[in-house]
Amino acid sequence: MSDKIEVGSVITGKVTGIQPYGAFVSLDENTQGLVHISEVTHGYVKDINEFLKVGDEVNVKVLSIDENAGKIGLSIRATEEAPAQPEAAKAKKPRAKRQPAAAVVETENVQGFNTLKDKLQEWIEQSNRNDLIKK
């Protein structure tokens, strides 16, 4: 790793490779880092190829350095000013609260759920009735 590269510094680099998850950027002859797809620009990036191509010179900010793994995390987004949001997008709209469903209870002819214990005696009596037994 290069001694002059520090976390927080902004460096000009050259895109050397593009993968679906990000772009590899050469910082000098011996040092390369990765710009994750989420760090390419403000907003959602579906296809990194719409923003970068091999050979592009880009300004990157060093986010992290892992000496042991030999990895440098970079961000193009951190070198750009965030786009201004319209006032309507800034103000959060209060969500409508859901009203609980009204419980409808009929007092006459309530069928509803009966436990097995309640129904067991009724089923035993029905099974013993001769008029219900098929012959």
Three-state secondary structure readout of the chain:
CCCCCCCCCEEEEEEEEEECCEEEEECCCCCEEEEEHHHCCCCCCCCHHHCCCCCCEEEEEEEEEECCCCEEEEECHHHCCCCCCCHHHHCCCCCCCCCCCCCCCCCCCCCCCCCHHHHHHHHHHHHHCHHHCCC
**What digits encode the pLDDT tens for the residues 77-123?**
988 887 877 665 556 667 777 777 776 655 555 555 667 777 888 88
Task: Compare 70 and 104 and report the one with higher pLDDT.
Answer: 70
Q: Tokens for 56? A: 């592009």
What average pLDDT does the chain have? Answer: 81
Average pLDDT over residues 25-38: 90
